[in-house]
Structure 1
Amino acid sequence: MPRFSAHLGYLFKERPLIDRIDAAAAAGFTAIEGRFPDGVSAADYKRAVDRNNLKVLGINTPQGGDTEFGLGALPGRQDEWRAGFAQTLDYVETVGGLAIHCLAGKAAPEQRREAEAVFVENLKRAADEAAARDIKLYIEPICGRGIPGYFLVELEHAADIVAKVGSDNVFIQYDLFHMQIVGGDLIERFKKYQPLIAHVQCSQVPVRHEPNEDGEINYPYVFAELDRLGYAHWIGCEYIPSTPRTEDSFGWLRRYGVVPRN
């Protein structure tokens, strides 16, 4: 049976971040993930995680400016990337997290060749630093509908980046929303790149609501196939609830054993 984690950048947003951790546990989740928790100290985050007996799967590197979505592939921003990555690495280690999602950022078409070289070099150094602390790195292809201009869009490109980095500590985060929009063929492409995939995320297409059966993706089938293929990692619930109260969007989770704690 698949295991689901709560993405705190999407779920429980009607609450402050620390309260989202408590709410995720109360709803029956045993793992969380999310964006870099600006404004919340690692000590406070860890206390909330520990009192709820939760796993921290992954945290994103900082997004950068208000209109940016990461710095990992941005030429001329290497010093900012290194500082942000070091901050994230310390934070993830303190809270007992397992991985860091390295946001590539947006790159203009004429910058793409240089951006790739920058991203590869940044990941090479980061992979060694993270491995020394037993923390994995993820990169994620993100469709233009989600983040217009994002550098890393295609799954095949992500696999090529991993190969160029040449580290056994860099993996792909396979978001089914983005994969459906860019290429589809979700199961066959998953099978092809399964050795590189360390995390999966889910939301329905086209509206990015909960992964029920009201959209393009037949999620009961997809989850069953991931199980059949031996996928042993977590699936992150990275969706926008269709209900004002996040908990009211969890009906689909009940069949997978995610039920509120008593």
Structure 2
Amino acid sequence: MSDPGAVLADLRAESEELDALVAGLPAERWAVPTPAEGWTVTHQIAHLAWTDRQALLSATDPDGFARAAQEAFAAPLTFVGEAAEAGARTPPAGLLAQWRAGREELQRALAERPSGEKLPWYGPPMSVASMATGRLMETWAHGQDVADALGVTRTPTARLRHVARIGVRARNFSFAAHQLTPPAEEFRVELRAPDGTVWEYGPAAAGQRVTGEVLEFCLLVTQRAHRADLPSVRAEGADAERWLEIAQAFAGPPGKGRAPSGKAATS
């Protein structure tokens, strides 16, 4: 089980890195389109601010979250985009202040919850560590959209281990989301980390295998790049090959993914 304190520290660091990327932008740069179709830099930060608020509600008012989730499920394909659109109407300075305040509240709320407690979410309930890991994954993924829009190349960090772990653990969900039966056997996944070490998941003798650079794997499972643009990510076995075609680390219906060479196809 992950240490909630360590995950929260990594979440803070990931958020601060993205914050530094947008804090000095002039207002007109917040309107730059990102690779997510229809979403500007403002929409990306608005989305993160909104999801932080939902996670805070989950941690502090489960009944209130249940009511909010019920409303969201009435429009399962549009509620995320509608929330981002509403948040994007806030001027950049105000939106940045809201995001900062909200994520600090979330940090405190999660730190105060018992580590084994299950918090409600839009999918299965999550532990404190899992909730923080999910927020980190989203912050990294939407931060990638912002970086791509601004022409910034980010340096991969060891925090990618959280994104990779979600991606691996979401294998069965990826199949189910596409109405496919998940493979019965575990896969072996070997990913080269930024420091050159290899992060390993699954039994060493597994017949189905995935290997590659962790950054490229994370871009794949968050659907921030098309597989054709991620040459290091390779599969051995038909089931593993199929997984890489449909992998997604995020909850909800199947994403459209990105077109080759970073052309937009999804938000």
User: So what's the TM-score if we normalise by structure 2?
Assistant: 0.30
Whose helix fraction is larger, Structure 1's or Structure 2's?
A: 2
Whose strand fraction is larger, Structure 1's or Structure 2's?
A: 1
